Amino acid sequence: MNAFARHDQIGPVSPEAKSEALGALSLLEELSDELEDTLDVYVPNAHLRMAMHLIKGHFEAKTITPTSLIGASRVPYATATRRMKEMVEAGLIEQRPRTKSGKSFSMHPSDKLLDQWIRLSSRVRRMAEARFGGRHRGQESKDYYFGGSYSAAQSILPMRVRSEPLKVSGGLRVLVHGDPTFMVMENLKRQFEQVIGVQISQRAFSIDRLREEALRNADRAASRYDIIAVDLPWIGEFATKDVLMPLDQVMDVARLDTADFHTAGWKAAHWGGRAYGVPAQTTPELLFYRRDLFAEAGLEPPATTDALLHAARALHDPRHGRYGIAWNAARGTALGHTALMTMADFGQPVLDLPANAGGFDTDGLADRTYRATIDTPAGLLAAEYLLELLQYSPPDILSMSWYERVRPYAAGNIAMAYGYTLLAPYFELDESSPAYGQTGYLPHPAGAGGNPIAPVGGYVMGIPANLAPDRIPAAVEALMVFTSPEAQKLFVQHGSRTNPRYSVGSDPEVRRTSQIFEAVDAMSWRDELQFWPRPPVPEIGQIIRICGEEFHDMLRGVIPPREALRQAQARADALIATQRT
């Protein structure tokens, strides 16, 4: 476990484990009720009653006060007070100040109490099965019973509630993207508020509005947000425009256990050798494909662009409402991303990056000596590939963007789709989807001169450069909580399909939720996760838009491929020259 994994006390857990743990609580509560009601001489066990009240409140993210704890004991006030003091002295209860005066406390189960409860739950289950039998369970089911999965090998323990709440007036303010992963975080807001001890106010915007708001916020005298989510390609722009502060300016970066992050995701958070954010989502763009349809047609999963075109042609059946493939083809930003990633499939970055063993070197981007490389032989191959792909796409493909390309795939109308892993919940969590349980995950098939790659997307969470100094310590601690392995595991268990950390991807409970995590980990070890297809230079956003406009005109038949490449090259050259003057 990393250096900060045990920084806080155990907090929210997975829905399955929570349900099992609450089942154990219900059993013991009902048994205690029966004993007390049946035997007049039976005295309530105050220690047990208070322990169950603490654990139940913890799992349900409810604040437990000394008064409510005493009331739950079912013994006289003086006796309950003594029993509560004994539990505090025994290290079973942790007290956290609720006010600045320190005279009011909330009560929380300690690590020791929770660990003892886990062991007790396991014994209760075994005794119940041994004495009374029960329905047959597979080993996997047993692992989850009454929270027993917490002790599984390599399992990441749940988050921990801080013994001291964060000190930040008005609560913590966070600016994020309105995608499924950050919406999971919003749904879990109450639990995260319990962990850090302050209220959380979260604002979510679309990708373009998020960038605009982050830039507007940088022009304010003081930041309105303590933490902001930043799309990976914006790192260079946000660093040079003082939108973000470098992390080493306000914290010991080693606390993050940086070796645990996927290499591409962590490197993408840097500019000029300094980290400007912590990976919160590492979501590569993959090829989703219907394994059942491929099997019926006798097709192999495509490893090359030629094989992909062959499969798309074979599975394209418009008369029966099925199309070969969907992708980002809407004008501007959406298609621009596709253009850059497709050039990368043919071994061509959009800038003249030096080649290295893993693809292309991005370490020198801050020197600003690069130039655009769009009008190239590989660029022409990429453009012609997209024109051919158009033939096997749905009729509204030129208006399809981020979500629109995956929704028809989830509905069963598309055989393949290029899509980020964060979009997989559309079909992985919908049992009515024809793609449910039938989806395979591949890196981008390689074109001539290229290798299979999975272009890395996603977000880092960073601290605004204009954040008031008195708010920075709380922002740092909250940033560590939100990006910790424990939090990332929790996101996955509540529906997210992104993950920036190796430890989370190897967690057995996480692997059981989706094949994505094993597939992405394998791609990472094969060095297929790459962020050079969208190098995070200050001009990248406008270069993406330029390519999205010129390629869109090409796909509409307004201009031929060579003209689209020439115009995109000329506009990108002029942009870079202007930015350097």
pLDDT in tens, 225-244: 999 999 999 999 999 999 99
* Inter-residue contact 538 to 369 (CB < 8 Å): no
Superfamily of domain 283-452+555-580: Periplasmic binding protein-like II (3.40.190.10)
| Residue entry with tokens 């939090």 | 487
What CATH number belongs to 15-151?
Answer: 1.10.10.10
pLDDT at site 369? 93
pLDDT at site 380? 98
pLDDT at site 126? 61
Phi-psi region of 299 (alpha: psi -120 to 50; beta: other; left: phi over 0): beta
* Inter-residue contact 14 to 148 (CB < 8 Å): no
Decide: helix, strand or coil at residue 94. Answer: strand
Six token digits for residue 185: 């975080």
* Inter-residue contact 460 to 536 (CB < 8 Å): no
Residue ranges of the domains in the chain?
15-151, 172-279+457-525, 283-452+555-580
Phi-psi region of 154 (alpha: psi -120 to 50; beta: other; left: phi over 0): left
Q: Which residues contact 499 (CB under 8 A, 6 or more apart)?
A: 282, 488, 492, 505, 510, 517, 520
Which parts of the chain register pLDDT below 70? 1-24, 40-41, 59-61, 99-102, 118-119, 121-154, 581
**Entry pTM:** 0.74
Measured CA to CA, the distance from residue 36 to residue 23 in angstroms comes to 20
Domain pair 172-279+457-525 / 283-452+555-580, same fold: yes
pLDDT at site 11? 43
Measured CA to CA, the distance from residue 438 to residue 358 in angstroms comes to 31
Q: Which residues contact 404 (CB under 8 A, 6 or more apart)?
A: 326, 330, 396
pLDDT at site 9? 39
User: For residue range 167-221, what is the model confidence (pLDDT) as tens digits?
Assistant: 999 999 999 998 888 888 888 999 999 999 999 999 999 888 999 999 999 999 9
Q: Which residues contact 256 (CB under 8 A, 6 or more apart)?
A: 2, 4, 278, 480, 483
pLDDT at site 118? 67
> How far, in Å, are 221, 462, 579 from residue 188 at the CA level?
31, 20, 42
pLDDT at site 154? 57
pLDDT at site 537? 95
Superfamily of domain 172-279+457-525: Periplasmic binding protein-like II (3.40.190.10)
